[in-house]
Amino acid sequence: SQKIEQNSEALNIQEGKTATLTCNYTNYSPAYLQWYRQDPGRGPVFLLLIRENEKEKRKERLKVTFDTTLKQSLFHITASQPADSATYLCALDVGNGQNFVFGPGTRLSVLP
Amino acid sequence: KAGVTQTPRYLIKTRGQQVTLSCSPISGHRSVSWYQQTPGQGLQFLFEYFSETQRNKGNFPGRFSGRQFSNSRSEMNVSTLELGDSALYLCASSLVAGDLSEQFFGPGTRLTVL
């Protein structure tokens, strides 16, 4: 069956460290993958998109990798700050460009 | 530029009633997608509209329907409400459907069914 998982429901790290979040999927062949940030009571905010033929994408302190062989994407936040505390969602494109499947999310807490 | 707006923000209904939610996309955006978010199921795709036509549909029963107007504003309707329909309903707009453009989400409508 098709499944998309994110490594853990919650992740606590110390300020200044690198947070690494994992998104694994089975029985999908996404053309691209997106990462979103969601704060409580608000809609998700788009962070990064990576295509299937791209290995890595960076934006400021954020880095995303995409391994279609392992069916996995890693999302890194370097020099993490308490303001980075939020739920992070990965989303796969499963066809037609706008039909997305979202992972359950990982709630990241960056402790001062 | 104003973001995606959704009305109402909060809604309480009883079982068996119907509800209509509204979404105004960012000016110039022509694609609107709707999602349901619950603690148990996460964020699930409902449907997507582009140029007043439904392009994609998720795995939801026919009680969930939507439409898009010529100004790109969209509404979704849920008939014969069930307790399990309690959720945060999010809409997202993007410039053009299918061009990998990022989606911009609204704040959502929190629906509670009693």
Instruction: Please give chain B's pLDDT, 114 residues, in tens.
Output: 689 999 999 999 999 999 999 999 999 999 999 999 998 888 999 999 999 999 888 889 999 999 999 999 999 999 999 999 999 999 999 887 655 567 899 999 999 999
Q: Give the pLDDT mean for A44-61.
A: 93
What pLDDT is attached to residue A95? 67
Contact A46 B108 (CB under 8 A): no
Distance of CA B110 to CAs A12, A31, A86, B104, B105, Å? 28, 32, 19, 18, 14
Is A111:A15 a contact under the CB 8 Å cutoff?
yes
Q: What percent of chain A has pLDDT over 90?
A: 71
The Cα A54–Cα B5 span in angstroms is 33
Please name which of A59, A61, A60, A77 lies closest in space to residue A17, comparing C-alpha atoms. A77
Q: Give the pLDDT mean for A66-89.
A: 96
Is A22:A110 a contact under the CB 8 Å cutoff?
no
Residue A90 bridge partners (DSSP) = A35
What pLDDT is attached to residue B1? 67
Out of A9-18, A32-41, A83-92, B93-102, least confident range: B93-102
Q: What is the DSSP string of chain A?
A: --EEEES-SEEEEETTSPEEEEEEEES---SEEEEEEE-TTS--EEEEEEETT-SEEEETTEEEEEETTTTEEEEEESS--GGG-EEEEEEEE-STTT-EEE---EEEEEE-
Chain A CB contacts of B87 under 8 Å are none
> Taking CA B6 as the corner, what is the angle to CA B3 and CA B9, rounded to the nearest 5 degrees?
125
- Range list of H helices, A22-100: none
Q: Give the pLDDT mean for A42-58.
A: 92
Out of A10-19, A54-63, A86-95, B95-104, least confident range: B95-104
The Cα B5–Cα A86 span in angstroms is 22
Q: Which of B89, B103, B109, B110 to mutate to test the interface with A (most CBs of A within 10 A)?
A: B103
Contact A96 B103 (CB under 8 A): no
Mean pLDDT of all residues in chain A?
Answer: 91
Please name which of B12, B14, B23 lies closest in space to residue B107, comparing C-alpha atoms. B23
Minimum-distance CB partner of B98 among A89, A96, A102: A96
Q: How far is A71 from chain B (nearest CA, A)?
A: 20
pLDDT band at A97 (very low <50, low <70, confident <90, very high): very low
Residue A63 or residue A8, greater confidence = A63
| Amino acid letter, residue B110 | R
B interface with A, Cβ–Cβ < 8 A, is: 4, 31, 33, 35, 42-45, 48, 50, 55-56, 58, 90, 92, 94, 97-100, 102-108
